[in-house]
Amino acid sequence: MVLRVVFKVLLAFYLVSAVLYTTDYFLFSPLRLFLVGHVPQPLAFWSTTPFNSFFAKRVSTSQETVPDLVLGGSSEDAVHWSSSPFTLKNGLGHDKPVIMSEDLYFSKAFSASMGASKIVPFFYRATGTFSKEDITITTLVTSNRFQVFARLVERYPGPISVTIHVKNGTENVHELLDSLHMLYLSSSKMFSNVDIHLVIDAFDRQFNTWRNIARFFARTDFVMMLDIDFSPCTDFRTAILNSKVVMDKLRTGLAALVIPAFEYPKHEDGIDESRFPRSKSALVSLVRAGKIAMFHASWGPGHSSTDYNRYYAASPGEVYKVTSYQSAYEPYVVFKKDGPPWCDERFIGYGGNKAACLFEMYLSGISYYVLADHFLIHQNHLYEETARRIYSDFREEACLRYLTLFRNNGMLNDTRGSNAREECQKIRSIARIATELYLGHIVWADEDVKQLLGPIADVIHFDTPTRADFLAAFQPNGKYHDVEIVDGFSSSVKWIAHNGAGYDQIDVLACKAKGITVSNTPGAVDDASATTALYLLISTVRQFSISERSLRQGKFKPSGLAPKAHDLTGRTLAILGLGGIGMRLAELAHAFPMRIIYHSRHKVANAPEWCEYFANVDDMLAQADVLSVHVPLREETIGLVGENMIRKLKKGSIIINTARGKVIDEEAMIRALEDGHLASVGLDVFPNEPEVNPRLLDFPNITLLPHMGTENQDSQRKMEVRALTNLKDFLTTGKGKDVVTEMK
């Protein structure tokens, strides 16, 4: 009797289960898949169903191939990423593989031992459309801060890219996703403006990693790094986008715009953001009444680099440069997405993670500018930790890295290197290294110094440890290029022998006003620079870059390459600027033979007959298969090869640049590569070295070199000997043959 009852119960349970399973399989599952492909937000059906994971999968097949997710640009430089079984089991991730760039995929190199982070980009994807030149707020949110984030979304009218961390051991993952789902559906601004990306791992408080993810997937050219508990009290976005001066500064990639931060000293006063002031005049009144103060004034110097007294006194619309930078400075900034360094992901937890990121940005040559009409106010809450410091060992490491980069690229004396020079000299263990790198020394021609100058002059090797000592040493009774150094020279300084062909690092006009002659070393670099240009020419015309990438990825020969590649013989090379380097390249290319045409300010008297001169540059461009640029960087040559000149070239032509990066309008060149007007480019120089525009790295068909034109000991010894010879000629005859053009 008992067995019969048990049997009936089991049979009934089996029948009910079978009906539920069949209904779900044949009815609800197809319906769910259909709706997920047509509705912009994830859908939760039965949160209690025993057969379904709680959450429908976010990305359909069609959504996986949208441009924002095809990160690598082509299969040659991308990998396919798949969601783990655990991820799928908990209702996260993607049903099918997602294309992901190698750089992102390999950012967690120790995946076997550490357990790599799993990234789910665009788990929720905003339905709105954004201009490329808009400003995306990039931020991170933890599960207990959803409501604070919702308030930020309501206050900011532009796009937002946010990273949300899901710990893969979280027992409450379903509750977290349920809360996230309700949050996303809570406001039309949320699902029209906000992209949400998940990062799934066992780690905690990897704030810089999460910041990088939000920035990486931002869909606009400019971003603002902001913490969610800061309320935008003014419309800085509209003010920036409507100001040509400010936007031009942002587009350079060398400026970050600071929105000053404030807080209520009394904790309870700063909780309700609806009471926050919405104009600068109201803010200043509260500051003077002692009710509002600069953010974290007790953690000085920190935010004090903003110079709040100047901020209060600034006139409407004023934008001023931060001149009293401190390494603990961590403002909230708007900057160009591509170009600035990424946040160092070794910083975990509170205390200096963002300051370290901004310190590295500053060292890279980015200057901070304060928008004096705008401000943020902190929504007060309790912190789990109170320490706020930037770690000394990181500062030392970052200083060494950037000083060496600038020195190796010949930029340490430039304006771009000034932040690193000045900031790193504040660190006692780095100061001597910084100044030695800055002041420099003879490397390859040390013995030649004695031979060339020893018999006719007293050769003094300066050993001044700082820039101030170096300047003092040139004053009367001292022991021995910018305006500051030139002004510091005594009247006895008559000649500066620059060790290089390009001399845009030297303030020539300041030298001329001081009565100092400047020489350079033009002929010494002709062979090395010309052969570098020739290498780029061959590689781009034959499309060797694609072939090398293919081989390194284990594919012997890429298919379909022959229709894109050409032989050099019989093709036309146009040279813009037939100086020493241009002439040497012409001789090398003519041997193939290639047809050589050129344009210079004047017809070159000693040019061979086979070098055809074009007085009109447009006529030359119309006949060129390859354009090689060899003009010096001066104010009038910045952006010389711009949209107009590039479009005058034939469709499918190639540009080679071994001169200076700023001679070419980089954005115009990239647009021409994207629409196919240019078949390829070969670049040895870039506008903001040592930074390289990441968009260039996505083109498999172009050849890039890190300014290697004279990077060999033979050429560098030639340069040093020629610079010393110029000094010798001046000391013996009062003249030198390599005087720069502006002084002839």
Q: Nearest 5°: phi and psi at 400?
A: -60, -40
Active site residue 660: yes
Among residues 233, 427, 246, 216, which one has the least CA distance to residue 332?
Answer: 233
Chain-centroid distance, C-alpha 287: 36
Catalytic residue among 303, 707, 720, 722: 707
Cβ count near 548 (within 10 Å) = 14
Q: Which residue has the tokens 């709680």?
A: 54
Residue 452 and residue 459 in contact, taking contact as beta carbons nearer than 8 Å: no
Active site residue 689: yes
Q: 48-82: b or e for each residue (b if 16 or more CB lie within 10 Å)?
A: eeeebebbbbbbeeebbeeeebbbbbeebbbbebe
Please tell me what DSSP assigns to residue 219: -
Strand order in the sheet with 293-294: 230-232, 376-378, 261-263, 293-294
Tokens of 143: 């599960």
Burial class for 159, CB neighbours closer than 10 Å (0-12, 13-18, 19+):
buried
d(CA 391, CA 398): 11
Catalytic residue among 689, 691, 720, 722: 689
Active site residue 707: yes
- Give the 3-state secondary structure of residue 640: coil
- Give the 3-state secondary structure of residue 304: helix
Catalytic residue among 660, 666, 720, 722: 660
- Residue 199 CB contacts under 8 Å (≥ 6 apart), including other chains: 117, 118, 119, 120, 163, 164, 165, 166, 206, 209, 210, 213
Q: Nearest 5°: phi and psi at 149?
A: -60, -40
**β-pairing verdict for 222-225 and 261-263:** unpaired
Q: Nearest 5°: phi and psi at 582?
A: -60, -40
* Helices assigned H by DSSP within 617-682: 617-623, 643-648, 666-674
- Residue 268 CB contacts under 8 Å (≥ 6 apart), including other chains: 380
Rg (CA), the chain: 31
Active centre residues (catalytic): 660, 689, 707
